[in-house]
Amino acid sequence: MNTKKITPFTLMCTIVLIVSCTKQPYYNVPTGPNGTVVITGVASTTSTGITSLDDKFTVNATFPNAKPGDVMKAELLKLQIPSSGGAAQLFPLAGTQKDVTVGTDLKATVTFTRAEAKMNVLGDYVTVTFSGKTDAGIIRVDMKTATSVVGPQYGSKTVDVMRSPDTAFFDISVQPKLAPYAGLVTVKRKNGVNAPWLNVGTGGFVTGSKVPISGNDFASGKDTMIYSFVAQQGTYTDSFTTSVVVSDPSFFLKKAGTLSLANAAQSGMNILTNSSVTATNASAIISVSGSSLIINGGAAWSVGGKSISFVPSTADIYNKNNSSDAINAFNNGIATTQIEPGQGNGIYIFKIVNGPLATDVVYGMMKISKIVPATSVEYEYRIGNAYNHLSIIK
C-alpha cells in the first residue's frame, strides 16, 4: 500500500485553498455599514518594566480594532505547577483579573504591584494579557536588575587590570523604573572565593560614581578579585557581582617603524604616534644620523628637559613583555642617549621624558629588525606602561 506523507507545508496550503474558496463568517471584527470587514491594525502593548527596586509596573496597550468605552479584561499569567503535577505551565494568577476601559484614543492602561505579580527575585516574569469582544493584547514583563557596572576602565577605554600601582575604575549606575535612585551603593571586594569581604571606600557610592580598582589590591598568588555592589530602596535590595582577573604588567602596544638617511621624510619618528617626520621636526622623538645609523633624540624635540635614553636588553625580556621587569632592568642598567643599531643584539629598553610631570615618563622596548648599511634601519617596538599613556600613544 502506497502512502504519501503530509507535510506541515502541504497541510497549510490545503487550508489556505479551502478558506480562499469558502465564504467565511467573521467574529468580533469591526465591519463597515455594508457589512464588509474593516481591518484597522494590530494591537500593541508596551510596559514601563520593573526592577528589583520597584514595587509596581504599568502596561499600556493600543487597540485599533476596539471602540472607545470597550472593556478589556487584563490578567496576569505566571509559570505554575499544575495540580496534577508535571512541568510548570503558564496559568492565570488568582485575583489578578482587572477591568480596563478603552479610551477615546483607543488606549488602555493597567498597573500591577510586585506583590500581585508574585515577583520576588531577578528573572521572575509574568505575561500580561488583555482580552475583549473586539481586540486582544499580550506582553511579557521580566523583573531586571536596576544596577549596571561598566569596566574596569580608564577614561573611556576598557583596560586589563595589571599588577601595578595604576588605578582603573568601575562606573556604577542604579536606575529603577519608577523614580531616580537617591541612595548609596555599598561596594565590597574579596580576593578569592574563600577570602573575607572588605569594604571599598567608606559609606558607599552614589549612582554615577567611579569605584577604584588597582593591581596593588591583589595579594601575591591570587589573581581573581570578586566585587559586590548592593543598592537598597525601602525594603527592596538590588545586588550585582562581577569578578576581575589581574595580569602581569605589560607594554600595551606593539608597533613598527623605519628610520632612513636616504629619505629625509623618514629621518625622524614620533614614536608616541608612530608617525614618520623629518629629523629636524619638533615631534621627532628619535632620529637617525651618520653612516653607522646612530639613533638618538631629535635635536628639535630634545629641549626643555625632554629626553630619550636607552639600556641594552635581551630577547628574553623583550619577548616576555613584562613592563615591570623591563623598567627594573632599565633602572639597574647604564643608560646612554644614543645607540648604534649594528652593535650588540639590537634590543633596547628606552625611557622617554616628555615633560616635567611623572605622567610624562613613558617606557618601552625596541628591537632592530633590519639594517641596510648607511641607508636605513627598521625596528619594532613595544610602548605604553601606564593607563594614562592610552590617551597620548596612538
Report the pLDDT value the prediction gives residue 37, as an integer from 0 to 100. 53
User: Per the structure block, which three cell numbers stand in for 391?
Assistant: 590617551
Kindly give the parts of the chain with pLDDT less than 50.
1-28
Report the pLDDT value the prediction gives residue 27, as an integer from 0 to 100. 36
Report the pLDDT value the prediction gives residue 279, as an integer from 0 to 100. 96
User: Per the structure block, which three cell numbers stand in for 109?
Assistant: 492602561
Report the pLDDT value the prediction gives residue 36, as an integer from 0 to 100. 58
Report the pLDDT value the prediction gives residue 7, as an integer from 0 to 100. 40
What secondary structure, in 3-state letters, does the chain show?
Answer: CCCCCCCHHHHHHHHHHHHHCCCCCCCCCCECCCCCECCCCCCEEEECCEECCCCEEEEEEECCCCCCCCEEEEEEEEEECCCCCCCCEEEECCCCCEEEECCCCCEEEEEEEHHHHCCCCCCCEEEEEEECCCCEEEEEEEEECCEEEEEEEECCEECCCECCCCEEEEEEEECCCCCCCCCEEEEEEECCCCCCCEECCCCCEECCCEEEEEHHHCCCCCCEEEEEEEEEECCEEEEEEEEEECECCCCCEEEEEEEECCCHHHCEEECCCCEEECCCCCCCCEEEECCCCEEEECCCCCCCCCEEEEEECCHHHHHHCCHHHHHHHHHHCCCECEECCCCCCCEEEEEEECCCCHHHEEEEEEEEEEEECCCEEEEEEEECCCHHHHHCCC
User: Per the structure block, which three cell numbers stand in for 277?
Assistant: 617626520
- This prediction has a pTM of 0.74
Tens digits of residue pLDDT in 188-210: 999 989 999 999 988 899 999 99
**Whole-number Å distance between alpha carbons of 393 and 385:** 11
Report the pLDDT value the prediction gives residue 64, as an integer from 0 to 100. 93
Report the pLDDT value the prediction gives residue 82, as an integer from 0 to 100. 86
For the chain, the farthest-separated pair of C-alpha atoms sits apart, in whole angstroms, at: 100
